Structure 1
Amino acid sequence: MNQILRRDPRAEWIARNRLHPLHGSLQPQQATWQGPSGVVRKNPHAVGFMGPNGIRRIDRSGAQQGGNLRRIAQAEPQLPLRSIPAPTFLVAVVPDLVGGRLTSHDRDLLGLARQLAGEEGAVLAIVFGEHKEPAFDTAGVDRLLTLSGAQYNGYAPEQRVQALQTADTEFNPRYWLMPDSHDGGGELGRRLAARLGERPATRIWQLKDGWCQGRAGAGQHDLTQPLPRFILAAAECAEPVDDARHEALPVTLACPVARTLGRIEDAGAVAVDPAAIPMAEAEFILSGGNGVKDWPLFHQVAVSLGATEGASRVAVDDGFMTRERQVGASGTWVTARVYVAVGISGAIQHLQGIGACDKVIAINQDPACDMVKRADLSVIGDSTALLQALMNAVNAWRRGAERNAA
């Protein structure tokens, strides 16, 4: 039988963080307490309890190392449910949903919408096409309008503006919020505002007392103006919602959306070499560090995954990667949707550089390194064997997809 005590870094971090919702459940049981009569009582099941024969109870479950806390640490905190059955007004939000999921920019935008909604209003999220987001409720959405159909697939701004105009006529939201981004929200918001004869406030990063502040002059100055109906917000415009769950009730349009004769034809996505994408704009990064022993295999895996290559400072200093591929505070700050760190221990400068990444996957042999603690998913093992297995799995999946297509 394996007697090795395995650590859970996430459970240990929760036990140290008093502000975490699961902090109390990970604390050791109280050994002694004073009853109402003044008698001091002892817990015979507590670790370290001294019995009448002088023998101290020993913990053999691994609780002191966090070994038996994995099940508790993985439990989701039960946030209170907030219900608004009859809202006084609506705040409409159109998230980008890059890859079918809410981005960090979208969550900041929903946090800003919650500020505008207050206690009497409700947040209406409008989504186009199929999505993969399961957590609209914890993001602050009270009503969810899903507009599906082939006419909304791909780049179809004219048809989407027509649908949003129909939603504006039917729901009459008090405010419209869209992300001022390159992923479609900035263009769609400007098109809709022009269609409705409104003048939007762009690059907004703060709201206060009926006024809004936005970036101007190439980001060097702040422009303060009265709060308009259309708001195109910048990233980090507000804190995401994390204190309650919302209903996210599905709603529909009573009137069908009129089909428009599109003047724009979407010819599909253009193939782009991942190596030519700048690090700051890459959505999927495979980054290597000192733990990578087979760099030719690392490059092959990056090509198979279609990922942009990155590296730690140690790998760059050793000559395995060029300087423009260095990730971190002393290199490039990245905002990838998925960041895979192979053999990177996680120096503080590197962790600062990946702070804005949505999902971090760590491949490392040290389960106690800082990168494993930061990662959303960790795989402990030899990097060469894991990279080879990953490439084999990707190639097998592609061969199966080609056979099914044929």
Structure 2
Amino acid sequence: MSDIIRRDPRAEWIARNRLHPLHAAVQAQHQTTWMGPNGILRKNPHAIAAGFVGPSGLKRIDRSGTQQGTAGKRSAASETVQLPLHIIEQPAFHIVVVPDMVGGRLSSHDKDLLGLAHKLAGSDGAVVAVVFGEHKETAFATAGVDRLLQIEGDAFDGYAPESRVLALSAVESQLAPRHWLLPDSRTGGGELGRRLAAKLGERPATRVWQVNDGQCIGRAGAGQEDLARPAPRLMLAAVECAEPVSETRHEARPLELTAAIAHSLPRIEDLGAVAVDPALIPMAESEFILSGGNGVKDWALFHQAAQALGATEGASRVAVDDGFMPRDRQVGATGTWVTARVYMAVGISGAIQHLQGIGACDKVIAVNRDPGCDMIKRADLSVIGDSAAVLTALMARIAAWRQEGKRDAA
């Protein structure tokens, strides 16, 4: 029998490539150590026996080798591990955050803002989140909220910047926060923050993307330059201004507003939302995108589904190269980077460039026939099946739901 060591370069490459569809199957049968091409013994740092679950619930890699043989015990114990609870009984100061809460939930922009507030609060301050009206969010504690102030009333529903500014003025008189943080967004935070700055007589810092050592840096000159200045009391922060809170749990203790809210006759009347053609919305600004790929065989049905859902259409590079969609609808690192709240990928396997382009999306829904594709692994909700059958069933459910709404209204 020959003593020559035979290698399978392709199997070794798949074992190293975590995005390969066959990675899980090869990983299970592949050795944790193997001889490299230069005669050096290689170790697989992602082997199950070499890792453990940290306090935040994330997989940690043990490069020292001390955890060998104890990974099973750590995995069993990790099921009951909870994030450490951060409690501030008597805060020395407050950092007030006013999230957009689009759809009644914290967006990725809001979570970045809470991460910045947690950074400014340190160990002595408390992060206060001010929410108007009812909400659907259940993860304030893990997002970094120490105190939750919910302001309810018909005067704050819909588009009501004047009433909200008066309510925030009452928060100012009660808490006297060290910093006000609002998202510099098109969904209300940018306008509300500027109105609040005028009411409080503060000069705000806008488009802030970094705060360190009492200095804040914001975008200026049409995004081509950075403007550094001492951090003011009121800052309007951009996306990715800080890392979201992920290592601690917070109380999210309810807080009551005891200061009186001034009232004035509103000069703005909210007439409700105006219907907009989703096809006219740029993908970079769309909140709901229906994207098609190589797995879509009936493109007429795809367009009907997008119209029924009220979604902006997108596509993978393969669909664009094949001529099914225009070039400006290509999603990915080589196309358009999107930040939709809901991204529905139909028949898209999930190339690395495409996954990079949807990295900032809040929720990803994947419809695919291959349960092992990378898009299924990335998705928050997966549907395994034929794209035409799924879209047809989805349109039928939408039509039935709308008919029920019409009957209830009648």
* TM more than 0.5: yes
For residue 349 of structure 2, the aligned residue among 328, 345, 348 is 345
Q: Is the 8 A contact 1:14 1:23 kept in 2?
A: no
Number of residue-to-residue matches in the alignment: 359
- Who is 2:286 aligned against? 282
Among candidates 185, 195, 202, match of residue 191 of structure 1? 195
Distance 1:192 1:22 in 2: 39
Q: Partner residue of 1:107?
A: 111
Measure how far apart 1:31 and its partner are: 11
Match of 1:170 among 169, 174, 178: 174
Unaligned runs of 5+ in 1: 1-6, 25-29, 34-45, 47-68
Q: Which residue of 1 aligns with 2:323?
A: 319
Distance 2:127 2:207 in 1: 20
CA offset digits 1:170-203 (Å, max 9, x no partner): 1111111111111111111111111111111111
User: What displacement does 1:258 show?
Assistant: 2.4
Matched, 1:368 2:369: no
2:111 maps to a residue whose letter is R
- What TM-score does the superposition give when structure 2 sets the normalisation length? 0.82
- Aligned match for 1:398, one of 397, 402, 410: 402
Deviation at 1:19, TM superposition (A): 6.4
- TM-superposed deviation, 1:99: 1.1
CA contact (8 A) 2:173 2:259 kept: no
Q: CA deviation at 1:109?
A: 0.6
Matches within 5 A, 1:82-231: 82-231=86-235
Give the C-alpha shift of residue 8 in structure 1: 12
Whether contact under 8 Å (1:22, 1:77) holds in the other structure is no
SS at match of 1:137: helix
Name the structure 2 match of 1:259.
263
Once superposed, which parts of structure 1, at least 4 consecutive aligned residues long, lie more than 6 Å away?
Answer: 30-33
Q: Give the whole-Å Cα distance in 2 for the aligned partners of 1:272 and 1:334.
A: 19
Distance between the aligned counterparts of 2:149 and 2:51, measured in 1?
37
1:271 correspondence with 2:275: yes
Distance between the aligned counterparts of 1:369 and 1:17, measured in 2?
A: 24
Aligned partner of residue 408 in structure 2, secondary structure: helix
CA–CA distance in structure 1, aligned partners of residues 58 and 218 of structure 2: 38
| TM-score after normalising by structure 1 | 0.83
The whole-number CA distance in structure 2 between the counterparts of 1:261 and 1:343 is 53
Q: Relative to 1, partners in 2 of residues 1:78 and 1:385: Cα closer, same or farther, differing over 3 Å? A: same
Distance across 2 between alignment mates of 1:76 and 1:396: 43
Residue number in structure 1 paired with 2:360: 356
Q: Is 1:334 matched up with 2:338? A: yes
Separation in 1, partners of 2:59, 2:179: 38
- % identical equivalent positions: 67
Deviation at 1:297, TM superposition (A): 1.3
Counting only pairs closer than 5 Å after superposition, residues 44-63 of structure 1 correspond to structure 2 as none
The whole-number CA distance in structure 2 between the counterparts of 1:22 and 1:104 is 19
Relative distance call for 1:255 and 1:209 in structure 2 (3 A) is closer
Distance 1:345 1:405, change over 3 A: same
Contact 1:93 / 1:126 at 8 angstroms: preserved in 2?
Answer: yes
- Look up the SS of the partner of 2:318 in the other structure: helix
Tell me the distance in 1 between the aligned counterparts of 2:134 and 2:23.
36
| 1:361-399 deviation line (CA, Å, top 9, x unaligned) | 100011111111111111111111111111111111111
Unpaired runs of at least 5, structure 2: 1-21, 29-45, 61-66
1:256 Cα deviation from its structure 2 partner: 3.4
Cα root mean square deviation, aligned: 2.7
Residue from 234, 243, 247 that aligns with 1:243: 247
